[in-house]
């Protein structure tokens, strides 16, 4: 199954995340299909490519609970 999830980037104690589409069997920071945005919890910065996110959701990709909340915040899903 394909999932939309976060991969961690950034320094120790200063995380930032990429929003990626990946196979559920891939490791957290491993191989992914497409990067569709990024999120920095320290500065509350959220950037999502809405067209790509909607395309993947329409094709059956399952968002994780955290991503679902972030996509609602970004206005991608209702």
pLDDT for 3-14, tens place per residue? 999 999 999 999
- Rounded to an integer, the average pLDDT of 46-62 is 95
Name the residue among 3, 40, 42 with its Cα closest to residue 20.
Answer: 3
Rg of the chain on CA atoms, in Å? 12
Cα torsion at 34, 59, 27, 14 (round to 10°)? 60
Q: Which residues contact 59 (CB under 8 A, 6 or more apart)?
A: 2
> Taking the model in full, what pTM does it have?
0.90
Three-class SS state of 12: coil
Residue 78: pLDDT band (50, 70, 90) is confident
Percent with pLDDT over 90 in the chain: 95
Q: What is the pLDDT of residues 14-41, one digit of tens each?
A: 999 999 999 999 998 899 999 999 999 9
């Amino acid at each position: 199954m394909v999932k939309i999830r976060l991969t961690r980037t950034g320094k120790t104690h200063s995380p930032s995340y990429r929003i990626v589409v990946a196979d559920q069997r891939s490791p957290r920071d491993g191989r992914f299909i497409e990067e569709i945005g990024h999120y920095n919890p320290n500065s509350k910065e959220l950037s999502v490519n809405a067209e790509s996110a909607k395309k993947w959701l329409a094709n059956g990709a399952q968002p994780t609970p955290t991503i679902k909340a972030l996509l609602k915040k970004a206005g991608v899903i209702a």
